[in-house]
Amino acid sequence: MFRKYSLNRLLALFTTAGFLFLMTDSIIEHWSAFSQEIMCFIPVVFSAIGLVVGILAVWQWKDRWVRRFHVLLLASFVVSAAGLYFHIMEEEDDEQFTAEQREHEKDEKEKPLLAPLSFAGLAAFGLLGTSKKWQTEIV
């Protein structure tokens, strides 16, 4: 089945699979925080959109869908930067916290700083793999 796919198409397929894995990982890692922070839904929703657009781009492989996939990959850099900001952001008003919230923060594991950067790495890989400079198939 994959023998008829060009290298560019296979790299786009690999990037699409990366969105599936990022969506799964984001759901697992943010499970306890979904009820507390609405921002935890951003990587899950974005990964789902990336999965759908990626599947359509690989399946159809028309210039229109590849360009939409490029726009989504460029937006991945913004999501990555926003995720990095939310992972390093600290609450400035410690006086507003109750004792229960402080206990919760002590028990909560540290937010990994490199986790949001996986969106940027996936975007860089996808953009390099599907760029017109290294096109191996006429679209």
User: Per the domain annotation, does 139 fall within a domain?
Assistant: no
pLDDT score of 93: 44
Over the Cα atoms of the chain, what is R_g? 18
Over residues 15-24, the pLDDT tens digits come to: 999 999 999 9
Rounded CA-CA distance 119/139 in Å is 26
Q: Residue 92: pLDDT above 50?
A: no
Number of domains observed in the structure of the chain: 1
Inter-helix orientation angle 7-30/63-88, to 10°: 30
Report CA dihedral (80, 86, 90, 92) to the nearest 10 degrees.
120
Examine residue 77 and state whether it is found in any structural domain, yes or no: yes
- Taking the model in full, what pTM does it have? 0.80
**pLDDT band for position 133 (cuts 50, 70, 90):** low
State which residues form the domain around 123. Answer: 2-89+98-129
What is the rounded distance in angstroms from the CA atom of residue 40 to the CA atom of residue 14?
A: 25
Per-residue model confidence (pLDDT) at position 137: 60
Confidence of residue 45 (pLDDT cuts 50, 70, 90): very high
